[in-house]
A and B are shown apart, each in its own frame.
Chain A
Amino acid sequence: MLSTDTDILKTAEAWRREGRGVAIATVVETWGSAPRPVGSHLVIDGDTNFLGSVSGGCVEGAVITEALDVIADGKPRMIEFGVADETAWQVGLSCGGRIRVYVERLD
């Protein structure tokens, strides 16, 4: 399956219609050199199937983990990644940029 912007949001809609739990992650802000532009999406279902990207693969794992919580409790979250961030020991962007990602449940 290709994963162009069109496919990603269409897939999110299709997954939800099948009754799956779905979260949409969106890059809302970037600083410095960020791998994916503002507006990029990653969509995740309750079984950690995912399509799209918010980085070059560096922080997707952490976003997917967060997405599972969002699917569970329905509360949107804003998460930030970057080398200067306190979570950098865990995951970070090797490119030296920073990104802010909004994760919301599709209801």
Chain B
Amino acid sequence: MRLSLLSDLNAERAARRAAILVTDVASGEQRLVREAEVETDPLALELQDSLRRGKSGLVERDGRQFFLTVQSPPVRVVVIGAVHISQALAPMARGLDLDITIIDPRTAFATPERFPDVPLLAEWPDAVLPEIGIDRYTAVVALTHDPKIDDPALSASLKSECFYIGALGSRKTHERRVQRLIEAGFTQTDIARIHAPIGLDIGAVSPAEIAVSILAEIVASLRKERRRSA
């Protein structure tokens, strides 16, 4: 592989754009196809299919074998609330190759001292979410318990294609949340997308344990098709 190709592939990943590296297995010839170029590529159909499934693999065309290295954009986790759980969650998310961003308008919470090396936005979710862009590779986790902060983020997520939405709070808290979202015009089907109470039921108690249960639930949503019991 030419270094410039690898460099371009890494740049696409850093910019959160999908890309496919096409390798002619017999000759070793390679090219990088960016998301925007897929449609006009000679292997357009094969590329579109593997991109949709997010899976690398071999394809054949005119007796030639090509290996497609599919690079989906890195999965991102947007956390609403610079709280204790988020402090535990941020380094774990990095270990899972998840891009994390934390949003909390409360400047006492959203400090670099509490979140070293974590992208942190001391802003209201409705102000920054449109800019961040919630896509189908994004999970949204609402952890503040405060409807003023969580609700706008949940509304934005419900209107998006994001693959996971989770909201912290007891069943009672969630009932009141559901009520508010219905009043805001969302249907029961919309609201059913929200995982609440958040996280897999592992009996988590500490902030770090709750972070594990949330991340496990995010992975379970991401890898849904591979699960033995869905």
* A residues apposed to B, CB below 8 Å: 2, 4-7, 9-10, 12-13, 16-17, 24, 26, 28-29, 37-39, 76, 78, 102, 104-107
Contacts and interface: CB of A to CB of B under 8 A. Distances in A.
Contact of B25 (A24, A37, A39, A102): A102
Given A2-B94, A13-B10, A107-B2, A39 B28 contact: no
Interface in B34-73: 55-58, 67, 69-70
B95 A2 contact: yes
Given A24-B1, A38-B55, A102-B25, A13 B97 contact: no
A29 B94 CA distance: 28
9 contacts: A6-B97, A7-B97, A9-B13, A13-B7, A29-B57, A38-B57, A39-B55, A76-B28, A104-B23
A26 B3 contact: no
A38 B6 CA distance: 18
B9 A9 contact: yes
Interface residues of B, number: 23
A67 B7 CA distance: 20
B230 interface: no
A16 B4 CA distance: 11
B108 interface: no
B74 interface: yes
Contacts, number: 60
A77 to B, nearest CB: 10
B2 A28 contact: no
Contacts of A106: 1-3, 6
A100 to B, nearest CB: 9
B15 interface: no
A36 B149 CA distance: 41
A37 B70 CA distance: 12
B205 interface: no
B6 A13 contact: yes
B69 A78 contact: no
Given A16-B3, A28-B25, 5 more contacts: A2-B95, A29-B57, A38-B57, A104-B23, A107-B3
A107 B96 CA distance: 29
Contacts of A38: 55-57
Contacts of B95: 2, 4
B6 A39 contact: no
Contacts of A7: 97
The 7 closest A-B pairs by CB, nearest first: A39-B56, A4-B97, A76-B28, A28-B67, A38-B56, A16-B3, A13-B6
B3 A102 contact: no
